[in-house]
Structure 1
Amino acid sequence: MSATPELSPRLPQLDALRGLAALYVIVYHVMAMPEPDLAVPGAIAPAVGMGGSGVALFFVMSAFSLCLTWPRHAATGLPLRSFYLSRLARIAPLMLALLTLMVVKDQCRALPLRGWEEVLWNYSLLFGLSAPWQHGIVMGSWTIGVEMLFYVLFPLIAIAARGLWRQLALLAASFVLASWAMHGLPAPIAHLGAHAGLLRQLPVFVLGCVLFELWLRLREAPAQHRPALGAGLSLAGLGGLGALFYGLLPPIPVIGDGWYLASLFYGLLLLGLLLASNRWLVNRLTCFFGTISYSLYLVHPFLVSRLYGAFARFYAEWPPGVAYFACLALSLALTVPASWLTYRWIEKPGIRLGHRLFARLRERRRQARALPAQAAAGPAG
Structure 2
Amino acid sequence: MKKIIEVTRIILISILIGVILGIAGALFYLCISGATAIRQAHPQFLILLPVGAVLVTLLYQLFKNEDDGGTNRVLESAYSNAPVSLKMAPSIFLSTVFSHLCGASVGREGAALQLGGSLGYNTARLFHLSDREKSFCTCIGMSACFSSLFGTPMAAAIFSIEIAVVGRLNVLCLVPSVIASYISRLIARSVGAPDMKMKMDKATTADPVTLLKVTVIAVSCGLVAMLFCRLLSDGVKLTSLKLKNKYLRALILGSAVFALSLIFPGQTYNGAGVDQIAGFMKGDVLPWQFALKMLFTLISVYAGYKGGEIVPAFYIGASLGAFLGHLLGLPPALACSVGMVSLFCGVTNCPLTAFAIGIEIFGTGTAPFFLLASAFSFFFSGKAGLYSSQKRQVYRAVSD
Give the structure, 1 or 2, with the largest relative contact order (CA under 8 Å, sep 6 or more).
1
Common topology (TM > 0.5) = no
Please report the TM-score for the alignment, with normalisation by the length of structure 2.
Answer: 0.27
Please report the TM-score for the alignment, with normalisation by the length of structure 1.
Answer: 0.28
